[in-house]
């Protein structure tokens, strides 16, 4: 959807709040990305209405974080997060504010936000409210905290990782004060939950300027407080010597793991609290990458890897060895494989039982594996008849 349409679609929500006597604005990433003419994700709405008041204005709402002032309003099938203007104070343990107070002033709400570019509001007519010169920061392509950087990072240390991920997302640089404060307060990151770190890391890995983002992390020493990256300067330096901006998140983890040479990739990724499925995928891809070192892509190797893993391995492998990735060729070769999985094999264990007239047992699995391999290598056509003939010619029936 076009940015203008996203705002147009949600404008009636702001209007409804206004009609009920409240203020309401678009805030956060949506306004920032709109001003940068980048595709916007979710729209966040800030309002002077208290959660209970928001709920009284809209028929369909979900309490998603009511103690922080956030209510999800369901409107024409979509959900919109509405957060009451608030201030935060008495930050505890460098992460969570002890007190969240609802306020009626937009400026106070904008003041609690992390970076000036994220502290711009827009009303439904498109008027910009920008008390902290966020637009200037956008024009300068500069990331700068609202207020004193040291103070802001001490309040919530996650903001330091957010700075690095915005560098990756936007390709901006950090304001010198922001850089200095990052270096000074890097160790506070130890107080932040791994889940939140992973969330920011994934956003960094999804950005178009990952090299820059990783450089910020490393130079500030933030990596020391990330799972498995303490004392890994050499590996990270090596990582930074590659151009990896075009890599996907899976490919980034793969490349990172390869360079870290971690004794247990699974343990490393588990420490990051990565979803089990992703851990499985990445660790397997790492094994395939090692295998790719010793052999080129053959039909069987491609078949074994599967398309997605083969592409990930190919891209990382080509990067490591400074050659062009042959993704298109690989995709074509994969498409031409005789079968893509065991299910596509023209014979099953049942056929084998009938042909061999023997009791079922481990031999069946072995047979199927051999047939599978022969079909993929095109030694035999994938048809019942041909496979039977082939087994006979090998004296297996
Ligand atoms: P995107 O959605 O593109 O990842 P965003 O800027 O919208 O980026 P969110 O995490 O969705 O980021 O947060 C929405 C807004 O809330 C931010 O723009 C910022 O104003 C504020 N914000 C979020 N996290 C923090 C934080 N840790 N400290 C201060 N303000 C924050
Ligand atoms: Mg957002």
* pLDDT band at residue 95 using 50, 70 and 90 as cut-offs: confident
Residue among 44, 65, 108 whose CB has most ligand 1 atoms within 8 A, to mutate: 44
Asked if 100 and 213 sit in the same domain, the reply is no
Residues in a beta bridge with 47: 24, 84
**pLDDT recorded at residue 94:** 81
Q: What pLDDT, on a 0 to 100 scale, did the predictor assign at position 67?
A: 86
Average pLDDT over residues 282-305: 98
Q: Is 130 annotated as a binding residue?
A: no
For ligand 1, whether the C-beta of 197 sits within 6 Å is no
- Alpha carbons within 13 angstroms on the beta-carbon side of residue 242 total 24
- pLDDT over threshold 80, residue 91: no
Q: What's residue 163's pLDDT? A: 98
Nearest ligand for residue 203 CA: 1
- Which of 62-66, 128-132, 258-262, 302-306 is least confident? 62-66
Residue in 324, 265, 333 with CA at minimum distance from that of residue 299: 333
Using DSSP's 3-state secondary structure scheme, residue 9 falls into helix
Ligand 2 center to 116 CA (angstroms): 15
In this predicted structure, the answer to whether residue 5 has a pLDDT above a threshold of 90 is no
Residue nearest to atom 21 of ligand 1 (CA): 113
Where is average pLDDT lowest: 13-27, 61-75, 180-194, 330-344? 61-75
Q: How confident is the model at residue 332 (pLDDT cuts 50, 70, 90)?
A: very high
Q: Is the CB of 113 under 6 A from ligand 1?
A: yes
Instruction: For the chain, report the end-to-end CA distance as a whole number of angstroms.
Output: 61
**How many domains would you assign to the chain?**
4
- Does pLDDT of 387 surpass 80? yes
Query: 120 falls in which pLDDT band (50, 70, 90)?
Result: very high
Q: Is the CB of 134 under 6 A from ligand 1?
A: no
**Residue 118 CB–ligand 1 contact under 6 Å:** yes
On whether the CB atoms of residues 128 and 99 are closer than 8 A, the answer is: no
- Give me the pLDDT at residue 320, please: 98
- Do 7 and 114 have their domain in common? yes
Q: Are residues 292 and 245 in the same domain?
A: yes
Q: What pLDDT is attached to residue 3?
A: 87
Residue 129 CA to residue 107 CA, distance in Å, equals 9
CATH number for position 174? 1.10.110.30
- DSSP secondary structure letters along 147-178: S-HHHHHHH-THHHHHHHHHHHHH--EE-HHH
State if residue 28 touches ligand 1 by the CB under 6 angstroms criterion. Answer: yes
58-76 core/surface letters (b: 16 or more CB in 10 A; e: else) = beebeeeebeebbbbbebe
Give this prediction's pTM: 0.93
190 in the same domain as 276: no
Q: Do 169 and 129 have their domain in common?
A: no
Domain edge (last residue) among 140, 158, 192: 140
Are both 263 and 369 inside the same structural domain? no
Average pLDDT over residues 94-113: 89
Distance CA 392, CA 383 (A): 14
Phi-psi region at 170: left, alpha or beta (left = phi > 0; alpha = psi -120 to 50): alpha
9 and 57 both lie in a single domain = yes
Whether residue 86 has its Cβ less than 6 Å from ligand 1: no
Which among 92, 75, 73 has a CA at the least distance from the CA of 83? 73
The last residue of a domain, from among 191, 226, 261: 226
The answer on whether 127 is annotated among ligand-binding residues is no
Q: Which CATH number goes with the domain that contains 374? A: 1.10.246.80
Residue 241: which pLDDT band, with cuts at 50, 70 and 90?
A: very high
- 156 and 63 assigned to the same domain: no
Among residues 107, 126, 97, 96, the alpha carbon closest in space to that of 34 is found at 126
Q: Read off the pLDDT of each residue in 254-273 and give the average, rounded to a whole number.
A: 97
Mean pLDDT for the chain overall:
96
Q: Do 9 and 95 sit in the same domain of this protein?
A: yes
Q: Cα 371 from chain centroid?
A: 40
Q: How confident is the model at residue 204 (pLDDT cuts 50, 70, 90)?
A: very high
Lowest pLDDT segment from 86-90, 125-129, 224-228, 229-233: 86-90
Confidence of residue 45 (pLDDT cuts 50, 70, 90): very high
**Inter-residue contact 289 to 315 (CB < 8 Å):** no
Residue 96 parent element (H or E):
strand 96-102
pLDDT in tens, 348-385: 999 999 999 999 999 999 999 999 999 999 999 999 99
In this predicted structure, what is the pLDDT of residue 99? 77
Average pLDDT over residues 254-282: 98
Between CA 368 and CA 110 the distance in angstroms is 65
Same-domain check for residues 372 and 307: no
Residue 270: pLDDT band with limits 50, 70, 90: very high
List of residues 6+ apart from 59 with CB closer than 8 A: none
324 and 243 in a common domain: yes
Q: Indicate whether 222 and 306 sit together in one domain.
A: no
Range of the domain at 118: 1-140
Name the residues around ion ligand 2, CB cutoff 5 A: 29
Which of 105, 140, 175 terminates a domain? The answer is: 140
- The confidence score (pLDDT) of residue 293 equals 97
Predicted confidence (pLDDT) at residue 98 exceeds the cutoff of 90? no
- Predicted confidence at residue 137, as pLDDT, reads 98
Average pLDDT of span 60-72: 93
- Label residue 66 by pLDDT band (50, 70, 90): confident
Three-state SS at 323 = coil
CATH number (domain holding residue 293) = 1.20.58.560
Q: Say yes or no: CB of residue 44 within 6 Å of ligand 1.
A: yes
The total of other beta-carbon atoms located within 10 Å of residue 2's CB is: 9
- Nearest ligand to the C-alpha of residue 34? 1
Mean pLDDT of 31-44: 94
């Amino acid at each position: 959807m076009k940015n203008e349409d996203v705002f147009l679609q949600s404008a009636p929500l702001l209007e409804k709040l206004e009609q009920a006597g409240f203020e309401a604005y678009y805030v956060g990433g949506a306004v920032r990305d709109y001003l940068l003419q980048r595709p916007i994700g979710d729209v966040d709405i800030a309002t002077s209405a208290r959660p209970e008041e928001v709920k009284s204005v809209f028929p369909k709402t979900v309490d998603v974080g009511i103690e922080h002032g956030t209510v999800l309003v369901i409107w024409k099938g979509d959900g919109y997060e509405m957060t009451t203007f608030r201030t935060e104070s008495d930050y505890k343990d460098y992460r969570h504010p002890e007190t969240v107070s609802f306020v009626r002033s937009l400026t106070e709400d904008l003041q609690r936000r992390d970076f000036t570019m994220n502290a711009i509001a827009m009303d439904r007519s498109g008027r910009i409210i920008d008390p902290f010169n966020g637009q200037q920061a956008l024009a300068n392509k500069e990331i700068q905290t609202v207020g004193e950087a040291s103070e802001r990072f001490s309040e919530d240390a996650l903001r330091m990782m957010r700075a690095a991920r915005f560098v990756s997302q936007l390709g901006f640089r950090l304001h010198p004060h922001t850089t200095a404060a990052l270096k000074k307060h890097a160790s506070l990151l130890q107080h932040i939950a791994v889940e939140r770190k992973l969330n920011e890391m994934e956003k960094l890995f999804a950005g178009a300027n990952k090299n820059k983002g990783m450089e910020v992390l490393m130079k500030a020493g933030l990596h020391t407080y990330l799972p498995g990256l303490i004392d890994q300067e050499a590996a990270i330096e090596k990582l930074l010597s590659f151009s990896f901006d075009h890599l996907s998140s899976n490919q980034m983890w793969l490349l990172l793991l390869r360079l870290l040479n971690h004794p247990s990739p699974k343990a490393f990724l588990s420490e990051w609290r990565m979803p089990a499925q992703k851990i499985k995928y990445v660790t397997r891809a790492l094994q395939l990458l090692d295998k790719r070192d010793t052999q080129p892509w053959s039909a069987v190797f491609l078949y074994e890897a599967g398309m997605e893993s083969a592409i990930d391995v190919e891209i990382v492998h080509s990067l490591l060895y400074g050659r062009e990735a042959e993704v298109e060729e690989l995709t074509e070769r994969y498409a031409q494989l005789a079968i893509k999985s065991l299910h596509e094999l023209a014979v099953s264990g049942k056929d084998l039982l009938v042909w061999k007239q023997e009791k079922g047992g481990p031999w069946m699995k072995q047979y199927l594996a051999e047939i599978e391999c022969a079909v993929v290598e095109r030694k035999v056509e994938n048809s019942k008849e041909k496979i039977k003939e082939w087994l006979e010619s090998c004296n297996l029936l």
